[in-house]
Amino acid sequence: MKYCGSEENQRLERLLRDNLAREMRLWRAPILKGGCIQGSDIAPSLYQEMVIWLREMSEMFKFGSETFALGVCVLNRLLATVKAQSKYLKCMAITSLILAAKINEEDEVIASVKDLLAQSGCNFSTAEILRMERIILDKLHWDLYTATPVDFVYIFHGLLVSARPHLALAAAQKRPCFQASLWTRQVQHCMACHQLWQFKGSTLALAIITLELERLMPDWFSFFSDLLRKAQIESTEFICCRETVDEYLSSLELSLPTNAVYILHTTDLTLRAYEDSGETDRRRGDRARKWKGGNRGWEVDDFYDGFGCLYNEVSPMEVEVSGPGDLKGPLQAKVLPCPPLQPLLR
C-alpha cells in the first residue's frame, strides 16, 4: 500500500467513519446467562471450540482472514438474535463462514457447497446448508456485511503509517512486528474468547495495536490518543478491553509457538579446531559417534551436517576407532560448528 500523506489520511479517516457507522448499526454479540449463551444451551467452551474450528476450516479452504472474521461476526449476530440449540451450532458456524466467503472471496476461490462439506468432514447435506443460509439471511435481514476487527486493524495500521511513515522502518529495526499480519493473528485468537464478546471490533483492534505500540516505542501514548479520538471509543471501555486482551494473549504465549520455525544466520559462522579429540560427542557438523561398550565398538549414527552432506558438499570424517579415548587416524583440523539458530520472526 502506498501512502500519500494528508490525502491518504483523509481517505482512511472516511473509511474509518463509514466502518464505525456500520458497526454501530449492525454489531451484536451473544449474552451469557446461567453459564450459557442466552436462549441456548451453548456453553462458552463449546463456542470457543467452534470458533477455533472455523479458523481451521477457513485456512483449509484458503479463505482470507477477513472472511474468517466476518463469518464469526455473522455467527455472533445470529446467536444474539435467535434461540439456538448446541446440536445446530456447527451447521450455523459453517454456513456463516460460507456466506462470508460469498461476500469476500473471488468466485474461483470458493468451491461448491458439496466440496466444502466434504473437505470439512461435516455430515450435513447441501440442502441443510441452503436451508440454514435462508434462515440466517432472513434473521439478519439480508444485511450480512459488517465491519470486523480485522477491518479495523487494517484501517488503524494504515492511519499510523500514513501519518508517520518512519514508524514502519523504525519499528522493524527494533523488532519487525509493527505489522498488520501480527495483529490480525492476535485478533483471530481473541475472537474465540467469550470474555471479549462485549467489546466491539474497533475497540478490540485498537487494544491489540496499542499493546504492541507500548512495547515498541516510549512515546506510544501520543499515537494511541490520536487513534482513540478518531475511533470515538470510551476510555473506560477501552482500558477494560485492553487489560482483558493483555491477559488473554499472555496466557496463549503467542510470542513463540510450540511449532516455531528456526532460520539459519550465517554471519557468525566460523571454522574452529577441535582441541580435545577424545570428547567425540562434542564434535558437531559431521557424523556423531556413540560408544556402545563391550565388543560392539563404535556405532555410527546416520546423522549428517545439514544441507552440506545432503548435497555431498561436505565429506564425513574418516576415523578409525576401537574404544573410547583410543582414536586412530587423523581428525580433520577444522570443521563447521553447529550453526546458530534464531526463531523465525512473526
Of 95, 114, 139, the domain-final residue: 139
Do residue 34 and residue 115 come from a single domain? yes
The answer to whether residue 275 scores a pLDDT higher than 70 is no
Q: What is the pLDDT of residues 166-207, one digit of tens each?
A: 655 544 454 444 577 888 999 999 999 988 988 999 999 999
Residue 275 counted as domain residue: yes
The share of the chain scoring above pLDDT 70, in percent, equals 66
Residue 295 counted as domain residue: yes
Please state, in angstroms and as integers, the Cα–Cα distance from residue 82 to each residue in 73, 77, 136, 141, 267, following that order: 14, 9, 10, 13, 60
- Packing angle of the helix pair 149-163, 220-231 (nearest 10 deg): 130
Q: Which residue has the higher pLDDT, 4 or 317?
A: 4
Q: Which of 30, 32, 130 is nearest to 81 (CA)?
A: 30
Do residue 77 and residue 102 come from a single domain? yes
Task: Name the β-bridge partners of 263.
Answer: 342
Q: Provide φ and ψ at 322, rounded to 5°.
A: -125, -10
Residue 101 counted as domain residue: yes
Residue 170 counted as domain residue: yes
Do residue 88 and residue 156 come from a single domain? no
Do residue 94 and residue 175 come from a single domain? no
Residue 70 counted as domain residue: yes
Q: Which residue has the higher pLDDT, 216 or 284?
A: 216
Burial 289-303 (b: 16+ CB within 10 A, else e): beeeeeeeeeeeeee
Do residue 153 and residue 219 come from a single domain? yes
Residue 19 counted as domain residue: no
Q: Which residue has the higher pLDDT, 30 or 257?
A: 30
| Domain that residue 195 falls in | 149-252
Q: Which residue has the higher pLDDT, 205 or 325?
A: 205
Do residue 239 and residue 287 come from a single domain? no
Q: How far is CA 3 from the centre of its chain?
A: 26
Looking at the 3D structure of the chain, how many domains does it have?
A: 3
Q: What is the pLDDT of residues 94-119, one digit of tens each?
A: 999 999 999 999 988 888 999 999 99
The model scores a pTM over 0.75: no
Q: What is the pLDDT of residues 48-93, one digit of tens each?
A: 999 999 999 999 999 999 999 999 999 999 999 998 889 999 999 9
Do residue 280 and residue 206 come from a single domain? no
Residue in this structure with the C-alpha cell 496463549, named with its chain if needed? 252
When pLDDT is cut at 50, 70 and 90, the band that residue 286 belongs to is very low
Residue 14 counted as domain residue: no
The share of the chain scoring above pLDDT 90, in percent, equals 42
Of 111, 139, 167, the domain-final residue: 139
Do residue 206 and residue 281 come from a single domain? no
Q: What is the pLDDT of residue 169?
A: 54
Distance between CA atoms of 154 and 12, rounded to whole angstroms? Answer: 10
Q: Which three cell numbers stand for residue 281?
A: 560427542
Q: Which residue has the higher pLDDT, 267 or 165?
A: 165
Of 93, 119, 139, the domain-final residue: 139
Please state, in angstroms and as integers, the Cα–Cα distance from residue 201 to each residue in 103, 168, 185, 231, 293, following that order: 19, 24, 14, 11, 65
Residue 144 counted as domain residue: no
Do residue 68 and residue 130 come from a single domain? yes
Do residue 217 and residue 189 come from a single domain? yes
SS (H, E, C) 153-210: HHHHHHHHHHHCCHHHHHHHHHCCCCCHHHHHHHHHHHCCCHHHCCCCHHHHHHHHHH
Q: What is the pLDDT of residue 33?
A: 86
CB atoms within 10 A of CB 21: 11
Q: What is the pLDDT of residue 256?
A: 47
Q: What is the pLDDT of residue 253?
A: 62
Burial 30-67 (b: 16+ CB within 10 A, else e): bebeeebbebbebebebbeebbebbbebbeebebbbbb
Do residue 50 and residue 126 come from a single domain? yes
Out of 10-14, 113-117, 267-271, which region has the weakest mean confidence (pLDDT)?
267-271
Do residue 163 and residue 233 come from a single domain? yes
- Average pLDDT score over the chain: 75
Distance between CA atoms of 308 and 305, rounded to whole angstroms? Answer: 6
- CATH number, residue 34: 1.10.472.10
The answer to whether residue 331 scores a pLDDT higher than 60 is no
